[in-house]
Structure 1
């Protein structure tokens, strides 16, 4: 792993996030899962009788990092998920996620991404299997604006390496990209690619090895007539009690809390494509190609080099149709494939006719303004809700886990923009 990343100080207090944050403006040892499930199941069942300090529901990026942070503060924590850590239907599943600090000058998310990068590095260093690939992250813009310079200035104040590039320089460094219609690029050389599913399963294994509990447990919508919640109930009727609860269930939050969350979070269908470069061709592999975001694209295409021989990945940030994570059809249609091939032909012409190696359908869990949603339940004093990742939340997992833990334990200040009251209900 690189030695070039300066570990950021965990900042005192939380900077304001800003009044509005559109999603487009900001994209702008246990060795196996089997060992995890077996050991965790035994631990949880043995300790359920004695009770837990906290139960965290949802083993995605927000939930797993929250459980880890609470445990590091000496608390007994049980992590639950209906299917497993970073499972295929979750918003935290899949192969790769981009980490970058190019956030249109937004101080909160820039700082959280930078803080989180250090934590992802630490997790990667603890294990033989790579968690983070330093591919760099390249943003390409159709116009050079003052906002780009303001964002770069903020990053430089924080000590984040960043450089502005003209088209001739970019074309020389990455000749397989067609920069037609591009005015300027912003390159973040220390950013890159997190192996999503692997990273969370590794973190969960660390959590269990240190004494935490994990169970596959499908939770019914919680109910309580009191000012607190005493227990969660499984679909089969089993109950688990704790002093407090954190629900980090991504696109399932509206189903668990229809009155409190409801349409404050709306899942959307998002298609993902992997194209196979020619045999023996390393021009599109990490080292020769960065992760990238095309701000000039109508659908805000973004993607990754060929990492670990999975193929050249392209995804669209434009929100797809509303999507049910339980019942939604996860097949990619012919029209979507034709449209992404047209984009390839324009921006990556050498891959225009590359075989389609794999497709996936995942989902964003969108808030109306792109901000995360993290707040205490309005009726239950010992329940917290963490979600609204809106397609950019995964990278912030370590910082979110710390933030939620601070709020739960009363040691931190809340960010108003992340509260329930700041999230409008869709009409």
Structure 2
């Protein structure tokens, strides 16, 4: 990885003893490490649990269906890590701050969890998003290439660049194997002292006045006591906090397709093909090379219909498949007629504008809420976890974009 001009402390800030929540300080004064309970073992919850363990707390992590389970937003094969976010420099910084964590986790795993194939963005014109992304990259010292269609065609000939005006290539980024990464991290943390349990937490309603929550109550009547509590419920956040998050986080379904590359060809392998995102006039499509021989992945980044995460139908639609095939045949000529290998239905838990929720509960003084990944959060799991741990330990992030107060009920996503 290149040596960037910003160090980790400049990127994410430091956690100090003075930021510890009062309950945890009292536990330290008694000679105890303090107890934290993290509800939800998706990417946000797991990295928050790790950050709290790193801060010296005894952590219990729990999930109703298991880490990165098939119903969760952290499930699935691959997630893109990228630095291009147009004018939203905060997310470029967070992606960069998380990248070394993903690489370190990959090195420690039995099988690679991070594939460094780079990410290529291409645009039908030099839109503001393209120019602003370049400005942020240059300011942060990220190695980035601006490419012409001719240069892209020479380097990555498996893509048809008809109608493309300009490209942006990020060599440092790539793909994270999503489900396996979360489950690997949980297994490593258990070996390091994490208390992992399976159970479903009961919803929280607003208390009569500000007060601490003494225990997380489970649907089976049991409870888990702790000094601080973190809820990272993914698409179930509105169910967990029905009186404060209803309509402020909305879950939508997104359809994902994997196609077989031509037999005997390695043109779509990660050694030759990057991850990619196509900002064309018809909307944003993105995808991955043939990772681990699962097929070339193609997705349409529209916000699909609103769904309930418990009853979300997991079959793709005929209309969705037809749209992707038409796009595939136009942009990837060598995949015309390619067999469909797999389909997935994943979920976005969207805030009104795409910003995350990392904030304390307005009634329970020791409860932190973290969620609203909005379809782009997985790559930033390590940094979101550090920020959520800082909030849980009593620190004010000074970042209004992540507060509950900024979450509306009208969907108008501006973060892409």
TM value normalised by structure 2: 0.90
Q: Per-residue deviation at 1:67?
A: 0.1
CA distance in 1, matches of 2:241, 2:50: 24
CA distance in 1, matches of 2:10, 2:283: 37
Deviations 1:14-47 (A, max 9, x none): 69xxxxxxxxxxxxxxxxxxxxxxxxxxxxxxxx
Match of 1:144 among 126, 133, 142: 126
Provide the residue aligned with 1:193 in structure 2: 175
CA distance in 2, matches of 1:297, 1:291: 20
Matches within 5 A, 1:83-98: 83-98=65-80
Match of 1:10 among 4, 8, 11: 8
Deviations 1:362-385 (A, max 9, x none): 110011101111111001100010
Matches within 5 A, 1:259-338: 259-296=243-280, 298-338=282-322
Q: Per-residue deviation at 1:417?
A: 0.9
CA distance in 2, matches of 1:416, 1:106: 14
Q: Are positions 1:181 and 2:163 aligned together? A: yes
CA distance in 2, matches of 1:412, 1:10: 18
Provide the residue aligned with 1:28 in structure 2: none
Asked if the contact 1:52–1:76 (Cα under 8 Å) also holds between the matched residues in 2, the reply is: yes
Asked if the contact 2:33–2:56 (Cα under 8 Å) also holds between the matched residues in 1, the reply is: no
Q: Are positions 1:232 and 2:216 aligned together? A: yes
CA distance in 2, matches of 1:121, 1:90: 23
SS at match of 2:226: strand
* Unmatched runs of 5 consecutive residues or more in structure 1: 16-49
SS at match of 1:281: coil
Asked if the contact 1:272–1:362 (Cα under 8 Å) also holds between the matched residues in 2, the reply is: yes
Q: Are positions 1:344 and 2:328 aligned together? A: yes
Q: Per-residue deviation at 1:13?
A: 7.5
Provide the residue aligned with 1:245 in structure 2: 229
Matches within 5 A, 1:74-223: 74-145=56-127, 147-223=129-205
Asked if the contact 2:78–2:177 (Cα under 8 Å) also holds between the matched residues in 1, the reply is: yes
Asked if the contact 1:13–1:412 (Cα under 8 Å) also holds between the matched residues in 2, the reply is: no
Deviations 1:127-158 (A, max 9, x none): 23101000100001111245523321321232
SS at match of 2:7: coil
Provide the residue aligned with 1:35 in structure 2: none
Deviations 1:237-281 (A, max 9, x none): 111111111000111000111111111100001000000112212
SS at match of 2:280: coil
Between 224-233 and 110-119, report the one with greater CA deviation: 224-233
SS at match of 2:291: coil
Matches within 5 A, 1:55-74: 55-74=37-56
CA distance in 2, matches of 1:249, 1:170: 40
CA distance in 1, matches of 2:33, 2:201: 17
Aligned-residue RMSD, C-alpha: 1.9
Q: Per-residue deviation at 1:410?
A: 2.6
Q: Per-residue deviation at 1:58?
A: 0.6
Provide the residue aligned with 1:30 in structure 2: none
Q: Per-residue deviation at 1:408?
A: 1.5
TM value normalised by structure 1: 0.88
* Unmatched runs of 5 consecutive residues or more in structure 2: 14-31, 412-416
CA distance in 1, matches of 2:5, 2:11: 18
CA distance in 1, matches of 2:294, 2:264: 14
Give the number of equivalent residue pairs.
391
